[in-house]
């Protein structure tokens, strides 16, 4: 008989609602925190995409003002920038840019993770060898004045930090006409 009374007591306690607010709060709080984390990660992803586009524009501008004839304005022979990778980035101002210089410059701009941003450093991609109209005349030297420079910056953003398979690859391309 005692066993039967204990069972009724447990069934009665199971039907009561005491303590249910704590369980509901725990479930709601976990969902709310996950939602906030998702919103913050979405905002960070938008920032990273904006930064990637800006970095591509800055890399194209760096190459735009350091074309083939830049170094011949002040020095008798070609004077390449010869930059070093961040954090020891140094730059010489009167120099001709190379793809590795553009890469180092873009990485020195101060990304969230500078080693995660990269550009396509193939010379034929960066300097396609034609003018904005598509003509190849005047572009015998691929980074000559009046020719195009094209910089594509890529950045892999991980939605869940330290989990590499959650990466979203973001890319932006900028084209400019070489001034010097």
Residue 89 has pLDDT above 80, yes or no: no
Report the Cα 146 to chain-centroid distance in Å.
29
Tell which wins on pLDDT, 159 or 28: 28
Average pLDDT of the residues in 96-108: 84
Pair 126, 133: CB distance under 8 Å:
no
What are the residue boundaries of the structural domains of the chain, listed by start? 35-177
pLDDT of residue 36: 95
- Report the C-alpha gap between 118 and 151 in whole angstroms: 10
Q: What is the pLDDT of residue 106?
A: 87
Residues 112-156: tens digit of each pLDDT: 788 788 888 787 777 787 778 878 777 777 777 888 888 999 998
Identify the pLDDT of residue 72.
55
- Report how far residue 162's alpha carbon sits from residue 149's, in angstroms, rounded to the nearest whole number: 35
- Break the chain down into helix, strand, coil percent, rounded to 5: 45, 15, 40
Residue 129 in contact with residue 144, Cβ under 8 Å?
A: no
Residue pLDDT, tens place only, 25-83: 999 999 999 999 989 999 999 999 999 999 999 999 988 888 766 655 555 455 667 77
pLDDT for the residue numbered 171: 92
pLDDT recorded at residue 76? 47
């Amino acid at each position: 008989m005692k066993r039967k009374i204990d069972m009724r007591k447990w069934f009665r306690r199971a039907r009561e609602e005491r303590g249910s607010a704590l369980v509901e709060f725990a479930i709601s709080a976990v969902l709310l925190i996950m939602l906030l984390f998702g919103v913050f990660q979405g905002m960070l992803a938008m920032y990273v995409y904006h930064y990637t586009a800006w970095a591509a524009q800055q890399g194209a501008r760096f190459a735009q003002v350091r074309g083939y004839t830049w170094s011949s304005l002040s020095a008798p022979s070609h004077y390449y920038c010869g930059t070093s990778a961040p954090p020891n980035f140094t730059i010489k101002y009167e120099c001709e840019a190379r793809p590795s210089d553009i890469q180092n410059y873009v990485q020195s701009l101060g990304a969230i993770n500078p080693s995660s941003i990269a550009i396509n450093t193939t010379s034929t991609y960066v300097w396609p060898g034609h003018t904005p109209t598509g003509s190849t005349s005047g572009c015998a030297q691929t980074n000559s004045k009046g020719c195009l420079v094209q910089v594509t910056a890529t950045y892999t953003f991980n939605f869940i930090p330290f989990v590499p398979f959650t990466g979203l690859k973001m890319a932006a391309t900028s084209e400019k006409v070489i001034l010097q």
